[in-house]
Amino acid sequence: MTIELVTTILFTLEYFLRIWSSPRPLGYVGSFYGMVDLIATAPLYISLLLPGGTYGIAIIRSLRLLRVFRVLKLSRFLVEGNMLWQSIVRSSRKIGVFLFTVLLLCVIMGTFMYVIEGPENGFTSIPISIYWAIVTLTTVGYGDIAPHTVLGQFVASAIMILGYAIIAVPTGIVTVDLTRPTTPETNAAPSTCENCGETSFNINALFCSNCGTKLPEHVD
């Protein structure tokens, strides 16, 4: 309990110092890392304010799970992690189109399997068949439903092989964005925010768009 109290006090002191030193205090409070800082320190204070009791203790114990957000505080010091997150965000539309295509493929293949196998082989409905197609395409293979006909086994084999090819697509999309050179045309930042590690800004930005901290001057 003593370690918990000291740690929470240190986190709280850091939280208020960040608000005090930020050029935009409200911007920091409403930012992602600001919310992480608040959530990381809240459980102890809530446990002290709420009265004891069965339901109160249950709520307090559930709020202790929020302490895991303290781990996220470390991510602000990992510029590489922030670069990976920015790459995923920039590739989100491509990944979204890819996932939508995979979903359509599962619907089509699941419908085919429902027609081929039928309820007598465990494919009792189209949604169940789509579930089987998703499990097979992702190479999970629970084995609760399996095709029994020759044609169904052939289609299942094709879906399994296709699953290995599909897994590599999102990785390739993000990798291409990570290896893309940083140029002014991509609106990349001339520097990295010393406060939160943000790297994606407008080329003429003077302040961090995430926490409001003044950016270091860029030297050509």
Q: Which CATH number covers residue 163?
A: 1.10.287.70
**Does residue 39 lie in a domain region?**
yes
Please list, in sequence order, all residues whose beta carbon lies within 8 angstroms of the beta carbon of residue 9, skipping any fewer than 6 positions away: none
**Does residue 148 lie in a domain region?**
yes
Chain centre to alpha carbon of residue 38:
20
Q: Which residue, of 26, 44, 76, is where some domain finishes? A: 76
Q: Where does the chain have alpha helices with state H?
A: 2-21, 25-29, 32-49, 54-63, 79-90, 92-117, 126-137, 150-178
Same domain, 27 and 99: no
**Does residue 67 lie in a domain region?**
yes
pLDDT of residue 203: 61
Burial class for 136, CB neighbours closer than 10 Å (0-12, 13-18, 19+): buried
Q: Which residue, of 16, 45, 76, is where some domain finishes? A: 76
Same domain, 99 and 164: yes
Tell me which residues of the chain have a pLDDT lower than 70: 1, 50-81, 180-192, 197-204, 216-220
Q: pLDDT (tens digit, 9 = 90+) per residue, 196-212?
A: 766 666 666 777 777 77
Same domain, 26 and 55: yes
Same domain, 158 and 96: yes
pTM of the model: 0.52
User: Of the candidates 78, 96, 70, 83, which has an alpha carbon nearest to the alpha carbon of residue 15?
Assistant: 70
Same domain, 72 and 99: no
CA distance 196 to 187: 19
pLDDT of residue 82: 72
Question: How many domains does the structure of the chain reveal?
Answer: 2
pLDDT of residue 150: 93
Same domain, 6 and 66: yes
Same domain, 102 and 174: yes
Q: pLDDT (tens digit, 9 = 90+) per residue, 154-178?
A: 999 999 998 888 877 877 887 877 7
Place of tokens 């109160």: 56
Same domain, 118 and 173: yes
Please list, in sequence order, all residues whose beta carbon lies within 8 angstroms of the beta carbon of residue 120, skipping any fewer than 6 positions away: none
**Does residue 60 lie in a domain region?**
yes
CA distance 121 to 19: 63
Please give the residue range of the domain that contains residue 21.
2-76
Place of tokens 């001339």: 190
pLDDT of residue 211: 77
* Contact present, 86 and 199 (Cβ < 8 Å): yes
